[in-house]
A and B are shown apart, each in its own frame.
Chain A
Amino acid sequence: MRVSLFITCLIDQLWPSVGSSAVEVLRRAGCEVVFDERQTCCGQPAFNTGYRAEARRLARRFIEIFEEGGADYVVSPSGSCTAMAHHFHELFADDEAWRRRAEALAARTYEFGGFLVNVLKVEDVGASFKGRVTWHDACHGLRDLGLREEPRRLIRGVRGAEFVELANADSCCGFGGTFSVKYPEISVAILDNKIDAIEKAGVRAVVSGDASCLMQIGGRLTRNNSSVKTMHLAELLASRE
């Protein structure tokens, strides 16, 4: 099975290890992984801030690039950017041809964890990790894509990892894209509820499916000199310790 990987800008620029972890896990699960180097961004920052023309430009590019290459699926280690690909059709309400292309691409575009569980039917990827971990539901993976049990099943499949449910795991971390810098005080006030819950969980790592949430949570954890570290689901699933 041929999988074309979409590596989000945040992962590409800040946490390339999340990308290489995703590659490793997908290969371990039997996929042939391809990566088209022309890819950049899904356009979500523009779309979510109201700049539709700019978002449309990047969406067209995204669609063109991922239509080529003959992959069976497009997989991305981000619920948020995957959800954006599922929203592309809204940008082409008046453009039937592009709307169809957007819909066709969305139909074979999956978030990493959801792809493993729902398409590959894999829950144990042979990972091991020492210590207690918890899961933060990134909003778009949870509410736009409906992924609730999938990541939890994958984490439970990690040998040595003790999974504890986070209090209000499904409440927002306060990131929200440009919201985090337009209204930083509100964003951080929301974040601090999340941080409290994480500290109370007494974990070694908080795991999530979106680098953006991890940037928000991790940025506050290190500012507070917390011992809890942030991990992307792909990193946990690639871990062998």
Chain B
Amino acid sequence: MHQQTSETFDRNAREALADVQLRGALRNLATTFGGRRKEAIATVEDWEGLRDRARAAKDETLAHLDKYLEQFVGNAEKAGAQIHWARDGAEACRIVLDLIRARGASRLVKSKSMATEEIHLNAALEAEGLAPVETDLGEWIIQLAHETPSHIVVPAIHKSKRQIAELFAEKVGIEPTDDVAVLTGAARRILRRSFAEAEVGISGVNFGVAETGTILILENEGNARLTTSLPRTHIAVMGIEKVIPKFTDLDVFLKLLPRSGTGQRLTAYQSLITGTKRRPEDEGPEELHLVLMDNGRSRMLSHPVTRQSLACIRCGACLNACPVYQQVGGHAYGSVYPGPIGAVITPQLSGLKQSAQLPYASSLCGACREVCPVKIDIPELLLHLRAEVTEGTAAGTAAQHGPVKSRPLERLAFGLYARAWSSPTLYLWGARVARLLQGAVVRKGRIGKVGGLLAKLAPPLAAWTEWRDAPPLAPRTFREQWREEQKR
């Protein structure tokens, strides 16, 4: 398999579609997660109202992000946390690395975090000989297999039980079994040891409450609780958009996130962490370091359309609902953020030059917008980015990392279309000419697979007819029929 990047989305997708194992793993995604989500949201009285409140809280935060960040930082520091600002991923990685080195630590545990995936923190630490142990079961599996997550919430969704059993047999040295209890038991045994030895715990953050300086981490396995409480030092990496104004806002988000993500009313664990431990006899880490990371977020903030990307709470509901993701899975996107939200965020993080395909990797069906708990208009964002791709203008996204590859033929085609379709005469004569020409390809009232020269001259027609018949142009257009009717 080739190196999967967002630049090669088309190739990645074709490979994914041919991967029988992957398609089996993805088959039940929509029904299981989509179905559980539906059941879970039915337990809330006013789901729509809740979504509106969540979005309003996010909009308020993003409109005054500087103020809320300042408040958050002030209160977190008061509670004993140390704050580090990172402009980009490289800086965030360096900060974490320096903190670990300064403590002479080498045994590290880590809980699941998209922010650290985004900046490839593990790779940066491994390059310095400091590999943290991933303690979320899914992430641990991925780490053992030397792969990347393929889903925001369920990182190993692409793997079958059998593959995991084989992986455990090879890496952990247990007898191959499909007994889930035995597999998780083995993982627990090994991870417990890592927890007990760990000197530094690394986590992400789901929400940072400005009013109290508290961070909230949601999870189901208890591993994040252990990661953030057992080691002497806790380092939490968070995007600057994770701040929310009030503690009571959590009421809204705690109802929305677990229901949207896994279809749970609430995750098994919610860790609320405010600073470090106060007295020697208290439990918890002695040091808490919060790494507040920008990494492209200020740029997203600067435009009213792209700003809504920052409202995302990383629930993954749009992935589960997306017909494209359901077919190709997460790796095809070549980014830690796959699916509809990934198609929107990735180009804004890594530049449209590398990710120009992603905004087009959608049928614009709107299923993502329908399930998004914070009402992000993902189709609107996709269209915004598509316009940036063709215009090469943009509020920074397109220009960043170099210009987008131009598409002269497509541009020409749309230019001609806009011109011809602006003239009823050209439009009509175009139809008449096409009607004359189509005789060469219409068989039994339809256009079957076209090949040869025509396929080369008209790639869209070839792409269409490879798997689908195309309808022939009607002998008379509606307008011709109408005109005749008016004459009578």
Enumerate chain A interface residues (CB-CB to B < 8 A). Answer: 7, 9, 11-17, 19-20, 35, 37-41, 43, 45-55, 57-58, 61, 90, 139-140, 142-144, 171-172, 174-191, 193, 215-216, 218-220, 222-223
Indicate which residue in B410, B463, B477 contacts A49 across the interface (CB closer than 8 Å): B410
Q: Which of B287-332 contact A (CB under 8 A)?
A: 323-324, 326-328
Contacting pair A186 B324 (CB below 8 A): yes
Shortest A237–chain B CB gap in Å is 17
Contacting pair A40 B360 (CB below 8 A): no
Q: Which residues of B contact A9 (CB under 8 A)?
A: 421
Contacting pair B471 A14 (CB below 8 A): yes
Contacting pair B366 A143 (CB below 8 A): yes
**CA of A186 to CA of B13, assembled, Å:** 7
**CA of A12 to CA of B483, assembled, Å:** 13
Would you list the 3 A-B pairs with minimal beta carbon distance, nearest first? Answer: A176-B363, A50-B386, A219-B468
**CA of A45 to CA of B323, assembled, Å:** 20
Contacting pair B477 A57 (CB below 8 A): no
The 8 A CB mask of B449-485 against A (1 = contact, 0 = none) is: 0000000000110011011111111101111111100
Contacting pair B363 A37 (CB below 8 A): no
For B448, the closest partner residue in chain A by CB is A223
**CA of A191 to CA of B473, assembled, Å:** 23
Stretch of B79-87, B98-106, B387-395 with 4 or more beta carbons under 8 angstroms from chain A: B387-395
Shortest A88–chain B CB gap in Å is 13
Shortest B37–chain A CB gap in Å is 15
Contacting pair A12 B364 (CB below 8 A): no
Known: A46-B417, A53-B418, A180-B463. 5 other contacts (CB 8 A): A38-B424, A45-B417, A54-B415, A143-B367, A223-B468
Contacting pair A186 B17 (CB below 8 A): yes
Contacting pair A179 B360 (CB below 8 A): yes
Contacting pair B366 A144 (CB below 8 A): yes
**CA of A219 to CA of B465, assembled, Å:** 8
Contacting pair B469 A40 (CB below 8 A): no
Is B431 located at the chain interface by the 8 A CB criterion? Answer: yes
**CA of A58 to CA of B424, assembled, Å:** 12
Q: Which residues of A contact B468 (CB under 8 A)?
A: 188, 191, 216, 219-220, 223
Is B370 located at the chain interface by the 8 A CB criterion? Answer: yes
Q: Which residues of B contact A12 (CB under 8 A)?
A: 477-479
Q: Which residues of A contact B472 (CB under 8 A)?
A: 14
Shortest B417–chain A CB gap in Å is 7
Indicate which residue in A37, A40, A47, A187 contacts B421 across the interface (CB closer than 8 Å): A40
Q: Which residues of A contact B363 (CB under 8 A)?
A: 139, 172, 174-177, 179-180, 187, 190
Known: A58-B422, A184-B464. A35 touches B13 (CB 8 A): no
The 8 A CB mask of B427-441 against A (1 = contact, 0 = none) is: 100010000000000
Contacting pair A181 B467 (CB below 8 A): no
Contacting pair A19 B478 (CB below 8 A): yes
| 23 A-B contact pairs sorted by A residue (CB < 8 Å) | A12-B479, A13-B473, A16-B474, A16-B480, A20-B481, A40-B422, A46-B417, A49-B386, A49-B414, A51-B414, A51-B418, A143-B370, A171-B367, A176-B362, A180-B463, A180-B464, A181-B460, A181-B463, A183-B13, A186-B361, A216-B468, A218-B469, A219-B464
Is B190 located at the chain interface by the 8 A CB criterion? Answer: no
**CA of A222 to CA of B460, assembled, Å:** 19
Q: Which residues of B contact A19 (CB under 8 A)?
A: 478, 481-482
Contacting pair A13 B421 (CB below 8 A): no
Is B401 located at the chain interface by the 8 A CB criterion? Answer: no
Known: A61-B422, A186-B13, A188-B468. A7 touches B327 (CB 8 A): no
Is B255 located at the chain interface by the 8 A CB criterion? Answer: no
Indicate which residue in B367, B415, B470 contacts A172 across the interface (CB closer than 8 Å): B367
Indicate which residue in B13, B385, B417 contacts A185 across the interface (CB closer than 8 Å): B13
Contacting pair A49 B481 (CB below 8 A): no
Shortest A234–chain B CB gap in Å is 11
Contacting pair B13 A37 (CB below 8 A): no
Q: Which residues of A contact B467 (CB under 8 A)?
A: 184, 188, 220, 223
**CA of A218 to CA of B359, assembled, Å:** 27
For A91, the closest partner residue in chain B by CB is B387
Main secondary structure of the interface of A (DSSP, over half): helix
Known: A14-B471, A46-B417. A143 touches B464 (CB 8 A): no
For A175, the closest partner residue in chain B by CB is B363
Contacting pair B422 A13 (CB below 8 A): no
Indicate which residue in A14, A90, A174, A218 contacts B323 across the interface (CB closer than 8 Å): A174
**CA of A81 to CA of B415, assembled, Å:** 20
Shortest B215–chain A CB gap in Å is 35
Q: Which residues of B contact A180 (CB under 8 A)?
A: 363, 463-464
Q: Which of B380-416 contact A (CB under 8 A)?
A: 380, 383, 385-391, 410-411, 414-415
Instruction: Pick from A13, A174, A178 the residue with the most CB of B within 10 Å.
Output: A13
Contacting pair A172 B474 (CB below 8 A): no
Contacting pair A181 B391 (CB below 8 A): no
Q: Which residues of B contact A17 (CB under 8 A)?
A: 474
Shortest B384–chain A CB gap in Å is 9
For B322, the closest partner residue in chain A by CB is A172
Contacting pair A37 B482 (CB below 8 A): yes
Known: A12-B477, A50-B391, A180-B464. A189 touches B327 (CB 8 A): yes
For B332, the closest partner residue in chain A by CB is A186
Shortest B415–chain A CB gap in Å is 7
Contacting pair B469 A223 (CB below 8 A): yes
Q: Which residues of A contact B13 (CB under 8 A)?
A: 183, 185-186
**CA of A57 to CA of B421, assembled, Å:** 10
**CA of A174 to CA of B322, assembled, Å:** 11
**CA of A178 to CA of B13, assembled, Å:** 17
Shortest B202–chain A CB gap in Å is 36
Indicate which residue in A48, A52, A184 contacts B391 across the interface (CB closer than 8 Å): A52
Q: Which residues of A contact B127 (CB under 8 A)?
A: none
Contacting pair A57 B460 (CB below 8 A): no
Contacting pair B469 A222 (CB below 8 A): yes
Instruction: Pick from A9, A17, A177 the residue with the most CB of B within 10 Å.
Output: A9
Contacting pair A50 B390 (CB below 8 A): yes
Contacting pair B390 A49 (CB below 8 A): yes
Is B181 located at the chain interface by the 8 A CB criterion? Answer: no
**CA of A220 to CA of B469, assembled, Å:** 6
Shortest B152–chain A CB gap in Å is 20
Instruction: Pick from A57, A139, A175 the residue with the most CB of B within 10 Å.
Output: A139
Q: Which residues of A contact B410 (CB under 8 A)?
A: 49
Shortest A196–chain B CB gap in Å is 12
Shortest B25–chain A CB gap in Å is 15
Shortest B475–chain A CB gap in Å is 9
Is B446 located at the chain interface by the 8 A CB criterion? Answer: yes
Known: A16-B477, A186-B327, A190-B323. A143 touches B369 (CB 8 A): yes
